[in-house]
Structure 1
Amino acid sequence: MYWMEFLTVALVHLLAVASPGPDFAVVVRESVTHGQRSGSWTALGIGCGIGLHVGYSLLGIGLIVSQSILLFNLFKWLAAGYLFYLGFQALRARPAAVGDISAGVPDEPRSRRRAFTIGFVTNGLNPKATLFFLSLFTVVIDPHTPLAVQAGYGLYLALATGAWFCLLAWLFSRSRVRAGFARMGHWFDWLTGLVLIGLGVRLVASEMA
């Protein structure tokens, strides 16, 4: 009965998750710099961040945040500050050793908790995700759809997001791919840092929809 609605939700989510953003940038950097394990735990953190958005969308908290300029701006500044932090951390990264660059050897993996936290906070503090899931659960999904079915949609969204970014973590941690990025030397860290800072600036400059 709800298959068409589910397919619509899945399609909208696919288009959203496939577009590059902060989640994509941090997964690529973690996978290239620290290897597949760190990238995968970052991806799992992002998936759990999706679960957070789904949870408060179902509870209606997202509607409150979206209607309060003060709360929205506070949320936006927290997210931008975290992106700035990640960006400056990337800019401060040391150049890789020549031997490591030629072999494409990743740095020491991050702890699981640290990698997971990076993914969770990056996604959880993204106000664009707040508005996306709010619109998804108020416009795309019929309000008369049973709460259990909506929760099932949310579970799918979290699992699909985690699986997508785990796939990216696997791809960008492959030896040839990592070696290709490594040949860029310190420029890769600088580029990633500038992208993250740029996303933060764009977030700060954006107006509340």
Structure 2
Amino acid sequence: MENFYLFVVMCILLILLPGPDTAIATKNTLTVGRTGGFKTIFGTCCALLIHTLAAVVGLSAIIVKSAMLFSIFKYVGAVYLVYLGVKTLWALRSKNTTPEIGSENKYEGKSCFKQGFLTNLLNPKVAVFFLTFLPQFVDSGSETFLPFLTMGITYTLLTAVWFLFYIYLLNQISAFMKKPKTQRIMEGITGIILIGFGVKLALEKAHH
């Protein structure tokens, strides 16, 4: 493996860029509380490990090279993101009162992991990322199994560390974030962002 430290720096910069994972983590932290945020990120990291294994065994390459498979993943992922966004906005409309952060109900707590998991797993751009980014740090013609596995796990761990910090900060940032009006505004924004990411993903072209 070449330039591992450069790989780590690049990973950190990419992880800091807001995406669907950040949007869903923000939504669940604000609506369910810190525990909901942690469950969401646990789901995200589990999906990243599956993407890592897929890259190692070459399944990602099949998905990227097959326009049909890529399209299936793309549209299913896009529909799911739009569904989450619409669901968030609809929940705002139907709410009479906004619960305090941390007052999670059983359904929301259980669905946080699923939302984080599916949002990441159904995003074919993650598979494309692993296949186009990871090989740049491996010697040409060398064995890729261990380097890919190491880099995938490293990326997952860095993602987990950043989001644990992000969720803790979001939950503790001040009483301002816990005000019902602020929560409604933030939920509305993240709902719109999720729909936007879903539409953007649906319009994404396959790379060959």
C-alpha spacing 1:185/1:46, structure 2 compared with 1 (3 Å): closer
- Counterpart Cα distance in 1 of 2:176 and 2:123: 28
Q: Is the 8 A contact 1:87 1:192 kept in 2?
A: yes
**Aligned mates of 1:181, 1:197 — CA distance in 2:** 24
Shift of 1:42: 0.6
The 5 Å alignment of 1:57-68 reads 57-68=55-66
Which of 123, 127, 130 is matched with 2:127 structurally? 130
* Equivalence map 1:65-76=2 (5 Å): 65-76=63-74
Offset at 1:181?
A: 6.3
2: CA distance between counterparts of 1:43 and 1:178?
24
Amino acid at match of 2:104: E
Cα deviation for residue 5 of structure 1 reads: 2.5
Relative distance call for 1:109 and 1:157 in structure 2 (3 A) is farther
Q: Percent identity?
A: 28
Aligned to 1:48: 46
Q: Mean Cα displacement is larger for which, 18-27 or 43-52?
A: 43-52
Unaligned 5+ residue runs, structure 1?
none
Moved more, 88-97 or 138-147: 138-147
Task: For 1:64 and 1:177, locate their aligned partners in 2 and report how far apart those are by CA, in whole Å.
Answer: 48
TM-score, structure 2 as length reference: 0.87
Aligned partner letter, 1:8: L
Cα distance in 2 for partners of 1:123, 1:181 equals 29
Q: Scaled by the length of structure 1, what TM-score is found?
A: 0.86
Cα distance in 2 for residues equivalent to 1:128 and 1:158: 16
| CA deviations over 1:163-200 (Å, ceiling 9, x no partner) | 21121111111261663664335332222111111111
Distance 1:131 1:181, change over 3 A: farther
How far apart are the structure 1 equivalents of 2:15 and 2:149? 19
Aligned Cα RMSD in Å?
A: 2.2
Cα deviation, residue 95, structure 1? 3.8
Task: Supply the distance in 1 between the matched residues of 2:23 and 2:168 (Cα, whole angstroms).
Answer: 14
CA contact (8 A) 2:30 2:101 kept: no
What SS class does the counterpart of residue 80 from structure 1 fall into? helix
Query: What code does the residue aligned with 2:113 have?
Result: F
What whole-Å deviation, never above 9, does each CA across 1:129-157 have from its counterpart, x for those lacking one? Answer: 11101112323333515523432222222
Correspondence list, 1:115-194, <5 A: 115-143=112-140, 144-145=142-143, 147-174=145-172, 176=174, 179=177, 182-184=180-182, 186-194=184-192
Q: After the TM superposition, which segments of 4 or more aligned residues of structure 1 sit over 6 Å from their partners?
A: none
**2:86 alignment counterpart:** 88
